Protein backbone atom coordinates (compact mmCIF):
# COMPACT_ATOMS: atom_id res chain seq x y z
CA UNK A 1 0.00 0.00 0.00
CA UNK A 2 1.63 3.30 -1.07
CA UNK A 3 1.54 6.52 0.91
CA UNK A 4 -1.66 8.01 -0.56
CA UNK A 5 -3.54 4.76 0.10
CA UNK A 6 -2.33 4.72 3.72
CA UNK A 7 -3.53 8.30 4.14
CA UNK A 8 -6.87 7.66 2.46
CA UNK A 9 -7.46 4.55 4.60
CA UNK A 10 -6.69 6.51 7.77
CA UNK A 11 -8.95 9.43 6.82
CA UNK A 12 -11.80 7.07 5.85
CA UNK A 13 -11.50 5.32 9.22
CA UNK A 14 -11.57 8.66 11.03
CA UNK A 15 -14.60 9.84 9.06
CA UNK A 16 -16.48 6.54 9.41
CA UNK A 17 -16.50 6.78 13.22
CA UNK A 18 -16.73 10.36 14.46
CA UNK A 19 -14.75 11.18 17.58
CA UNK A 20 -11.15 10.74 18.63
CA UNK A 21 -8.87 7.95 17.43
CA UNK A 22 -5.36 6.74 18.23
CA UNK A 23 -3.00 8.12 15.67
CA UNK A 24 -0.91 4.93 15.58
CA UNK A 25 -1.81 1.32 16.22
CA UNK A 26 -0.23 -0.13 19.37
CA UNK A 27 -0.18 -3.90 19.64
CA UNK A 28 -3.81 -5.04 19.56
CA UNK A 29 -5.07 -1.49 20.12
CA UNK A 30 -6.39 0.02 16.88
CA UNK A 31 -5.03 3.20 15.32
CA UNK A 32 -5.43 5.18 12.12
CA UNK A 33 -1.89 4.41 10.94
CA UNK A 34 -0.24 1.01 11.23
CA UNK A 35 3.13 2.13 12.61
CA UNK A 36 4.82 5.14 14.19
CA UNK A 37 7.98 4.50 12.15
CA UNK A 38 8.89 4.66 8.49
CA UNK A 39 6.58 5.83 5.75
CA UNK A 40 3.44 5.44 7.93
CA UNK A 41 4.83 7.93 10.43
CA UNK A 42 5.78 10.37 7.66
CA UNK A 43 2.26 10.26 6.19
CA UNK A 44 0.70 10.74 9.64
CA UNK A 45 2.85 13.78 10.34
CA UNK A 46 1.99 15.20 6.92
CA UNK A 47 -1.72 14.73 7.60
CA UNK A 48 -1.36 16.68 10.84
CA UNK A 49 0.70 19.36 9.15
CA UNK A 50 -1.77 19.73 6.26
CA UNK A 51 -4.71 20.07 8.67
CA UNK A 52 -6.46 16.83 7.64
CA UNK A 53 -6.14 15.55 11.21
CA UNK A 54 -5.78 17.45 14.44
CA UNK A 55 -4.51 16.36 17.83
CA UNK A 56 -7.11 16.50 20.60
CA UNK A 57 -5.06 15.08 23.46
CA UNK A 58 -1.82 13.29 24.29
CA UNK A 59 -1.21 10.55 26.85
CA UNK A 60 2.26 9.97 28.32
CA UNK A 61 3.01 6.71 30.12
CA UNK A 62 6.69 6.42 30.85
CA UNK A 63 8.44 6.54 27.50
CA UNK A 64 5.24 5.80 25.54
CA UNK A 65 3.40 8.77 24.04
CA UNK A 66 -0.06 8.19 22.60
CA UNK A 67 -1.59 10.83 20.36
CA UNK A 68 -5.37 11.04 19.96
CA UNK A 69 -6.62 12.77 16.83
CA UNK A 70 -9.84 13.57 15.00
CA UNK A 71 -10.66 14.33 11.38
CA UNK A 72 -10.98 18.00 10.43
CA UNK A 73 -13.54 19.48 7.99
CA UNK A 74 -10.82 19.28 5.29
CA UNK A 75 -10.66 15.47 5.50
CA UNK A 76 -13.89 14.64 3.66
CA UNK A 77 -13.22 16.85 0.59
CA UNK A 78 -9.67 15.47 0.44
CA UNK A 79 -10.95 11.88 0.37
CA UNK A 80 -13.57 12.71 -2.27
CA UNK A 81 -10.94 14.38 -4.46
CA UNK A 82 -8.18 11.76 -4.19
CA UNK A 83 -10.11 8.50 -3.81
CA UNK A 84 -9.89 6.47 -7.02
CA UNK A 85 -13.06 5.29 -8.80
CA UNK A 86 -11.88 1.70 -8.40
CA UNK A 87 -11.47 2.11 -4.66
CA UNK A 88 -14.91 3.71 -4.40
CA UNK A 89 -16.45 0.88 -6.41
CA UNK A 90 -14.68 -1.73 -4.28
CA UNK A 91 -15.95 -0.02 -1.13
CA UNK A 92 -19.45 0.14 -2.58
CA UNK A 93 -19.21 -3.54 -3.47
CA UNK A 94 -18.25 -4.35 0.13
CA UNK A 95 -21.24 -2.36 1.40
CA UNK A 96 -23.58 -4.09 -1.04
CA UNK A 97 -22.18 -7.51 -0.10
CA UNK A 98 -22.64 -6.83 3.60
CA UNK A 99 -26.15 -5.49 3.01
CA UNK A 100 -27.05 -8.48 0.83
CA UNK A 101 -25.79 -10.85 3.51
CA UNK A 102 -27.97 -9.11 6.10
CA UNK A 103 -31.19 -9.28 4.06
CA UNK A 104 -32.11 -12.91 4.96
CA UNK A 105 -31.61 -12.19 8.64
CA UNK A 106 -33.71 -9.04 8.32
CA UNK A 107 -36.45 -10.95 6.52
CA UNK A 108 -36.44 -13.64 9.21
CA UNK A 109 -36.66 -11.01 11.93
CA UNK A 110 -39.48 -9.24 10.07
CA UNK A 111 -41.38 -12.52 9.70
CA UNK A 112 -41.02 -13.20 13.43
CA UNK A 113 -42.29 -9.72 14.28
CA UNK A 114 -45.28 -10.15 11.94
CA UNK A 115 -46.03 -13.59 13.45
CA UNK A 116 -45.85 -12.17 16.97
CA UNK A 117 -48.08 -9.26 15.98
CA UNK A 118 -50.59 -11.66 14.40
CA UNK A 119 -50.58 -13.84 17.52
CA UNK A 120 -51.17 -10.81 19.76
CA UNK A 121 -53.97 -9.61 17.46
CA UNK A 122 -55.66 -13.03 17.50
CA UNK A 123 -55.30 -13.22 21.27
CA UNK A 124 -56.83 -9.78 21.77
CA UNK A 125 -59.61 -10.54 19.27
CA UNK A 126 -60.41 -13.83 21.04
CA UNK A 127 -60.49 -12.06 24.40
CA UNK A 128 -62.81 -9.40 22.98
CA UNK A 129 -65.13 -12.06 21.54
CA UNK A 130 -65.22 -13.84 24.89
CA UNK A 131 -66.17 -10.57 26.59
CA UNK A 132 -68.90 -9.93 24.00
CA UNK A 133 -70.27 -13.47 24.38
CA UNK A 134 -70.27 -13.10 28.16
CA UNK A 135 -72.03 -9.75 27.87
CA UNK A 136 -74.63 -11.24 25.51
CA UNK A 137 -75.27 -14.09 27.96
CA UNK A 138 -75.66 -11.60 30.81
CA UNK A 139 -78.09 -9.51 28.75
CA UNK A 140 -80.16 -12.60 27.87
CA UNK A 141 -80.25 -13.58 31.54
CA UNK A 142 -81.27 -10.04 32.53
CA UNK A 143 -84.04 -10.07 29.94
CA UNK A 144 -85.32 -13.40 31.23
CA UNK A 145 -85.22 -12.13 34.80
CA UNK A 146 -87.05 -8.96 33.85
CA UNK A 147 -89.72 -10.97 32.10
CA UNK A 148 -90.13 -13.18 35.14
CA UNK A 149 -90.11 -10.29 37.57
CA UNK A 150 -92.57 -8.18 35.61
CA UNK A 151 -95.59 -10.35 34.89
CA UNK A 152 -97.72 -7.30 34.02
CA UNK A 153 -100.40 -7.68 36.69
CA UNK A 154 -102.20 -4.51 37.73
CA UNK A 155 -102.80 -3.65 41.36
CA UNK A 156 -106.55 -4.01 40.78
CA UNK A 157 -106.16 -7.51 39.40
CA UNK A 158 -103.77 -8.46 42.20
CA UNK A 159 -106.41 -7.37 44.72
CA UNK A 160 -108.91 -9.79 43.16
CA UNK A 161 -106.45 -12.59 42.32
CA UNK A 162 -103.62 -12.40 44.92
CA UNK A 163 -101.73 -15.29 43.37
CA UNK A 164 -101.84 -13.87 39.82
CA UNK A 165 -98.21 -12.65 39.72
CA UNK A 166 -96.93 -15.99 41.01
CA UNK A 167 -98.97 -17.94 38.47
CA UNK A 168 -97.66 -15.83 35.60
CA UNK A 169 -94.11 -16.16 36.91
CA UNK A 170 -94.54 -19.95 36.98
CA UNK A 171 -95.64 -19.87 33.34
CA UNK A 172 -92.66 -17.68 32.36
CA UNK A 173 -90.21 -19.84 34.25
CA UNK A 174 -91.61 -22.99 32.67
CA UNK A 175 -91.17 -21.48 29.20
CA UNK A 176 -87.63 -20.20 29.92
CA UNK A 177 -86.39 -23.70 30.81
CA UNK A 178 -87.80 -25.14 27.60
CA UNK A 179 -90.92 -26.94 28.88
CA UNK A 180 -93.18 -25.19 26.39
CA UNK A 181 -95.52 -22.23 26.67
CA UNK A 182 -98.72 -24.18 27.39
CA UNK A 183 -98.96 -25.47 30.95
CA UNK A 184 -101.57 -28.07 31.99
CA UNK A 185 -103.87 -26.70 34.66
CA UNK A 186 -103.11 -29.50 37.16
CA UNK A 187 -99.42 -28.58 37.02
CA UNK A 188 -100.15 -24.86 37.35
CA UNK A 189 -102.56 -25.42 40.23
CA UNK A 190 -99.97 -27.52 42.05
CA UNK A 191 -97.35 -24.76 41.62
CA UNK A 192 -99.68 -22.00 42.82
CA UNK A 193 -101.15 -24.10 45.63
CA UNK A 194 -97.63 -24.75 46.90
CA UNK A 195 -97.21 -21.00 47.46
CA UNK A 196 -100.85 -20.34 48.44
CA UNK A 197 -102.02 -23.48 50.29
CA UNK A 198 -105.40 -21.90 51.15
CA UNK A 199 -106.29 -21.71 47.43
CA UNK A 200 -109.17 -23.98 46.39
CA UNK A 201 -109.72 -25.39 42.92
CA UNK A 202 -112.93 -23.34 42.30
CA UNK A 203 -111.12 -20.15 43.35
CA UNK A 204 -108.28 -21.15 41.09
CA UNK A 205 -110.67 -21.53 38.15
CA UNK A 206 -112.33 -18.20 38.86
CA UNK A 207 -108.95 -16.51 39.06
CA UNK A 208 -107.92 -17.99 35.71
CA UNK A 209 -111.07 -16.63 34.08
CA UNK A 210 -110.28 -13.15 35.42
CA UNK A 211 -106.68 -13.39 34.21
CA UNK A 212 -107.89 -14.37 30.76
CA UNK A 213 -110.37 -11.50 30.71
CA UNK A 214 -107.49 -9.16 31.62
CA UNK A 215 -105.44 -10.75 28.83
CA UNK A 216 -102.70 -11.70 31.26
CA UNK A 217 -102.87 -15.30 30.02
CA UNK A 218 -104.81 -17.47 27.62
CA UNK A 219 -106.78 -20.64 28.32
CA UNK A 220 -106.79 -23.40 25.74
CA UNK A 221 -108.44 -26.79 25.37
CA UNK A 222 -106.35 -29.95 25.14
CA UNK A 223 -106.76 -33.13 23.11
CA UNK A 224 -106.25 -35.22 26.26
CA UNK A 225 -107.18 -34.39 29.88
CA UNK A 226 -105.64 -36.95 32.29
CA UNK A 227 -107.13 -35.03 35.27
CA UNK A 228 -110.43 -33.68 33.95
CA UNK A 229 -111.45 -32.29 37.35
CA UNK A 230 -108.92 -29.48 36.79
CA UNK A 231 -110.52 -28.42 33.49
CA UNK A 232 -112.74 -25.35 33.55
CA UNK A 233 -115.49 -24.13 31.28
CA UNK A 234 -114.73 -20.86 29.48
CA UNK A 235 -115.93 -19.45 26.17
CA UNK A 236 -118.15 -22.48 25.69
CA UNK A 237 -115.26 -24.98 25.89
CA UNK A 238 -113.43 -27.03 28.46
CA UNK A 239 -110.05 -25.43 29.00
CA UNK A 240 -107.12 -27.52 30.21
CA UNK A 241 -104.04 -25.45 29.29
CA UNK A 242 -102.80 -21.99 30.28
CA UNK A 243 -100.13 -19.97 28.51
CA UNK A 244 -98.75 -16.42 28.40
Lowest mean pLDDT among 4-8, 28-32, 161-165: 4-8
Do 138 and 130 form a contact (C-beta atoms < 8 A)? Answer: no
As a whole number of angstroms, the distance between CA 139 and CA 85 comes to: 77
Is 58 within 8 Å of 66 (Cβ atoms)?
yes
Predicted confidence band of residue 85 (pLDDT cuts 50, 70, 90): low
Give the other-Cβ count within 10 Å of 13's Cβ: 15
Which of 190, 243, 189, 186 lies closest to 219 in space, CA to CA? 243
Q: What's the pLDDT at 22?
A: 92
Average of pLDDT values for 47-53? 94
Q: Determine the pLDDT at residue 141.
A: 65
At 115, is the pLDDT very low, low, confident or very high (cuts 50, 70, 90)? Answer: confident
pLDDT tens digits, one per residue of 152-207 = 678 888 889 999 999 999 998 888 888 888 999 999 999 999 999 999 999 999 99
Percent of the chain with pLDDT over 70: 89
User: Could you tell me whether strands 53-61 and 241-243 are parallel, antiparallel, or unpaired per DSSP bridges?
Assistant: unpaired
For the ranges 66-70, 121-125, 139-143, 209-213, the lowest mean pLDDT is seen at 139-143
104 vs 30, which has greater pLDDT? 30
User: Residue 1: what pLDDT?
Assistant: 43
Q: What is the pLDDT of residues 211-228, one digit of tens each?
A: 999 999 999 999 999 999
The mean per-residue pLDDT over the stretch 27-38 comes to 90
CATH match of 3-83 with 1.10.10.10: yes
For residue 151, the cross-strand partners are none
Amino acid sequence: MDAPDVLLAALKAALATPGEHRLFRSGKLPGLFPSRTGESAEVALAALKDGLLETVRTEVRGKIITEWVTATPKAAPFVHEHDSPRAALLELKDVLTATRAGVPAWLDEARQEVAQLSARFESHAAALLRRLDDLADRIDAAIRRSELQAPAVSDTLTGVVPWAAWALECLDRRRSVGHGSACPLPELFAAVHGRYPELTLPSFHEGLRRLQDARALRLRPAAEMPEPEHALLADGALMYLAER
